[in-house]
Amino acid sequence: MVGRDDVLNAIALNSSMVNGARVVGPAVAGVLVAAVGEGWCFLLNGISYVAVIAGLLLMDIPRTKRESPSHSPLRDAVEGFRFVTRTEPVRRSHPAGTRELCRDAVRRPHARIRAVDSPRRRAAWAR
């Protein structure tokens, strides 16, 4: 969306806009809800999404030619795990989380199924 020279400025501007919206947004929303009601607020929110989608559609992004993969996704995943294990800053950043993620994905996929399909959850949805 921006050139390489402007990437840092674009990131800073985006962060400023997000943090500004976090501060100002709830106050503006409260005033709007009190003034016009919830229905009009939902309508304005929907219109704002249409404006964003229209802006995205109007962007002129040059097409890039995709290269066909020369090796399998499994090989890419193994290469990624090797990178994580061999790169000290990455390995130090979240060692416990990485171990748990890998352990859960490989050894305990049934744990997620049981959590979603538990009797307590079914009873809560049946009410």
What is the per-residue pLDDT across 15-56, written as a single tens digit (0 to 9) for each? 999 999 999 989 999 999 999 999 999 998 899 899 899 999
pLDDT of residue 127: 57
DSSP 69: P
Q: 54 or 96: whose pLDDT is higher?
A: 54
Amino acid code (one letter) for 36: V
- Which tokens belong to 74? 């499994």
42, 46, 80 from 35: Cα distances, Å: 13, 18, 53
Provide φ and ψ at 3, rounded to 5°.
Answer: -75, 170
Q: Which residues are within 8 A (CB) of 84 and not within 5 positions of it... i.e. 6 or more apart?
A: 90, 91, 98
Q: Are 42 and 54 in contact (CB under 8 A)?
A: no
Average pLDDT, the chain: 79
How many angstroms separate the CA atoms of 77 and 102, rounded?
A: 12
User: Six-digit token pair at 22?
Assistant: 């976090």
pLDDT over 70 for what percent of the chain? 71
Query: Cα 119 vs. chain centroid, distance in angstroms?
Result: 31
Q: How far apart are CA 41 and CA 23, in angstroms?
A: 18
**Model pTM above 0.75:** no
pLDDT at residue 114, rounded to an integer = 52
Share of the chain above pLDDT 90, in %: 31
